[in-house]
Amino acid sequence: MQDRQEKISQVVVTAAQMRDIEQQIFAAGMPVVALMEKVAGLIARRVQDLIPPTPLKKRVGILVGPGHNGGDALVVARELYFRGYEIWIYSPFEKLKELTTQHLQYAQSLGIPCYSAIEELPDCDFLIDGLFGFGLERTITDAIATAINELNERNQPIFSIDLPSGIHTDTGEVLGTAIRATHTFCLGLWKLAFLQDQALDYFGKVELIDFDIPLADVQAVLGEVPKIKRITKVTALSTLPLPRPPVTHKYKEGHLLLVCGSRRYAGGAILTGLGARASGVGMLSIAVPESLKYLLVSHLPEALIIGCPETETGAISQLQLPEKTDLSSFSAIAIGPGLTKDSTPIVQAVMKSPEPLLLDADALNILAQLGTIPTLQQRQAATVLTPHTGEFQRLFPDIADVKADKIKAVQAAASQCGATILLKGARTAISNPQGAVWINPESTPALARGGSGDVLTGLLGGLLAQAATKQIPIEDIVATAAWWHSQAGILAAQERTELGVDAFTLTQYLMPVLKQI
**Using one digit for the tens of pLDDT, what is the confidence trace for 213-252?**
999 999 999 998 899 999 999 999 998 877 788 989 888 8
Percent of the chain beyond pLDDT 70? 100
**How far is the C-alpha of 73 from the C-alpha of 479, rounded, in Å?**
37
Q: Mean pLDDT of all residues in the chain?
A: 96
Check whether 210 is labelled as a binding-site residue: no
Q: Distance between CA 63 and CA 71 in Å, rounded?
A: 10
pLDDT number for residue 1: 59
How confident is the model at residue 76, as a pLDDT?
98
Query: What pTM was estimated for this model as a whole?
Result: 0.95
The annotation status of 135 as a binding-site residue, yes or no, is: yes
Q: Which of 182, 186, 181 is nearest to 209 (CA)?
A: 186
> Do the Cβ atoms of 489 and 459 come closer than 8 Å?
no
Position 25 scores a pLDDT of 97
68 is in an annotated binding site: yes
Nearest partner of 172 among 138, 149, 144, 196, judged by Cα: 196
Inter-residue contact 386 to 453 (CB < 8 Å): yes
What confidence tens digit (pLDDT) does each residue in 278-293 have?
999 999 999 999 999 9
How far is Cα 370 from Cα 433, in angstroms, rounded to an integer? 20
Query: Is 137 assigned a ligand-binding role in the annotation?
Result: yes
For residue 250, the SS3 value is helix
428 is in an annotated binding site: yes
Residue 425 among known ligand-binding residues:
yes
The Cβ-side half-sphere exposure at 258, using a 13 Å CA radius, reads 40
- The verdict on whether residue 451 carries a ligand-binding annotation is no
- pLDDT in the model for residue 251: 84
Confirm if 339 and 358 have CB atoms less than 8 A apart.
no
pLDDT of amino acid 366:
98
pLDDT of residue 517 exceeding 80, the answer is: no
Q: How far apart are CA 297 and CA 31, in angstroms?
A: 68
Rounded-to-integer distance, Cα 58 and Cα 64, Å: 19
Predicted confidence at residue 471, as pLDDT, reads 83
Percent helix, percent strand, percent coil in the chain, to nearest 5: 45, 15, 40
Write the burial class of residue 398 (CB in 10 Å: 0-12 exposed, 13-18 middle, 19+ buried).
exposed
Mean pLDDT across 327-351: 96
What pLDDT score does 439 carry? 98
Q: Are strands 283-289 and 357-359 parallel, antiparallel or unpaired?
A: unpaired
In the predicted model, what is the mean pLDDT of residues 191-201? 96
Q: Which of 357-366, 374-383, 400-409 has the lowest mean pLDDT?
A: 400-409
Question: Any binding-site annotation on 263?
Answer: no
Which H or E run includes 270? helix 266-279
Torsion, CA 164, CA 30, CA 2, CA 442, rounded to 10: -10
Question: Does 401 belong to an annotated binding site?
Answer: no
Rounded CA-CA distance 31/40 in Å is: 14
165 is in an annotated binding site: yes
Q: Is 388 annotated as a binding residue?
A: yes
Between 516 and 173, the more confident residue is 173
Distance CA 385, CA 360 (A): 6
**Which residues lie below 8 Å from residue 291, measured CB to CB, with a gap of 6+?**
263, 307, 310, 314
**Alpha carbon 378 to its chain's center:** 30
Structural domains of the chain ordered from first start: 1-226 (3.40.50.10260), 253-401+444-510 (3.40.1190.20)
- Please give the sequence-ordered ranges of beta strands (E in DSSP) within 120-162, or none if there are none: 126-130, 158-161
Is 162 assigned a ligand-binding role in the annotation? yes
Distance CA 179, CA 157 (A): 11
**pLDDT bucket at 2, cuts 50 / 70 / 90:** low
How large is the average pLDDT for residues 456-479? 94
pLDDT at 46: 98
- Categorize the per-residue pLDDT at 470 as very low, low, confident or very high, splitting at 50, 70 and 90: confident
Query: Among 469, 443, 472, which Cα is nearest to 456's?
Result: 443
Mean pLDDT of 494-501: 96
138 labelled binding-site residue: yes
244 is in an annotated binding site: no
Strands 255-259 and 332-335, sheet pairing = parallel
Q: For residues 386-404, give the mean pLDDT.
A: 93
426 labelled binding-site residue: yes
pLDDT at 75 over 90: yes
